[in-house]
Structure 1
Amino acid sequence: MAATGDDAAAMDSISRAPAAQLAALNAAAASSSQAEAPEDVAEIPAVVPKKTSTNSDGGVETAEEAVEPAEPDINELCADMFEKMAIVLQGELTGTSEDYRLLENMNKLTSLKYMEMKDISINISRNLQDLNNKYASLQPYLDQINQIEEQVSSLEQAAYKLDAYSKKLEARFKKLEKR
């Protein structure tokens, strides 16, 4: 999970701590360790002030070598680590919380969509019942149409038979006339 918003900015500021802050931490650690344990004073190198001197060669300044700052107290390092871990964990928890909030919103939207689909299916069912009722009310008329079609078909057959019979009679009549 990646941290977002203020947590990301806090994490970036932690990872990019300026050198001035580190020097201030080192100086504070040196003063606190001197107050707590005077026997450790020999181990901590002192900050050497910058000496300036002018030569007779046109006033060129010279500087002394920089001395490494003292390591901060282990308690301060632990406290700093716990603060940073708290920020990281807070970012993780915030990310997880946002994931759950997103899932909750998705579930709500899905529920609304299913409710809409339910309403649509109820309307379709109602319309289908209406169509079935109308078809049932039209069924007697459809049956009458089928009966009329059957009667027309039988009349047509009778007309064909009558036509064939009339052609036979005409042929017989013509045959009798010729004689």
Structure 2
Amino acid sequence: SPGGCRGQPGGRDGGVETAEEAVEPAEPDINELCTDMFEKMAVFLQGELTATCEDYRLLENMNKLTSLKYMEMKDISINISRNLQDLNNKYASLQPYLDQINQIEEQVSSLEQAAYKLDAYSKKLEARFKKLEKR
């Protein structure tokens, strides 16, 4: 075009686009771009879904391990409960003997007090006897 290009000083069109410039890109380019966009979106969504699936697998494994740990703890608790019950039964079977030991201890204490009294009385008696002997 004489006088220069569009947008340059001295140009004839003064910044107005021609009909040829307003034509949209060719159809295959748009289809190609859409296909590329959908492929990339599919890859992105596949990645997101894969990550989510992996998160759920991890949670599932953690739940299984936690469940196993709770089962182990339950078994341990059952064993502790059984052992405690056995100990309580043994203690109950020993209780009569423990009562007898307490009774014997009380009797020994009472006997000890009687022995001290008897010792004191015999010393008094001995002192009287010696006093009478001197007369």
Q: Which moved more, 1:101-110 or 1:120-129?
A: 120-129
* Unmatched 5+ stretches in structure 2: 1-5
Q: Distance in 1 between matches of 2:31 and 2:13?
A: 50
Change (3 A) 1:51 1:62: farther
| Bigger mean CA deviation after superposition, 167-176 or 92-101 | 167-176
Q: CA deviation at 1:134?
A: 1.2
Q: Structure 1 130/165 Cα, relative in aligned 2: closer, same or farther at 3 Å?
A: same
CA offsets 1:13-67 (integer angstroms, 9 cap, x no match): xxxxxxxxxxxxxxxxxxxxxxxxxxxxxxxxxxxxx999999999999999999
Question: What is the CA–CA distance in structure 2 between the aligned matches of 1:141 and 1:86, rounded to whole Å?
Answer: 82
| Structure 1 pair 100–55 and aligned structure 2 pair: CA distance change class (3 A) | closer
Shift of 1:178: 3.5
Gap change, CA 1:71 and 1:148, over 3 Å in 2? same
What residue in structure 1 maps to residue 18 of structure 2? 62
Moved more, 131-140 or 90-99: 131-140
Equivalent position SS for 2:15: coil
Q: How far did residue 120 of structure 1 move?
A: 1.2
Equivalent position SS for 1:69: coil
The answer to whether structure 1 residue 142 and structure 2 residue 98 are counterparts is yes
- Report the Cα offset of residue 177 of structure 1: 3.3
How far did 1:173 drift?
A: 2.5
Q: TM-score, normalised by structure 1?
A: 0.57
Following superposition, the deviation at residue 125 of structure 1 comes to 1.1
Identity of aligned residues (%): 91
Displacement, 1:98?
A: 0.3
Structure-1 separation of matches of 2:40 and 2:80 = 60
**1:116 to 2:72 alignment:** yes
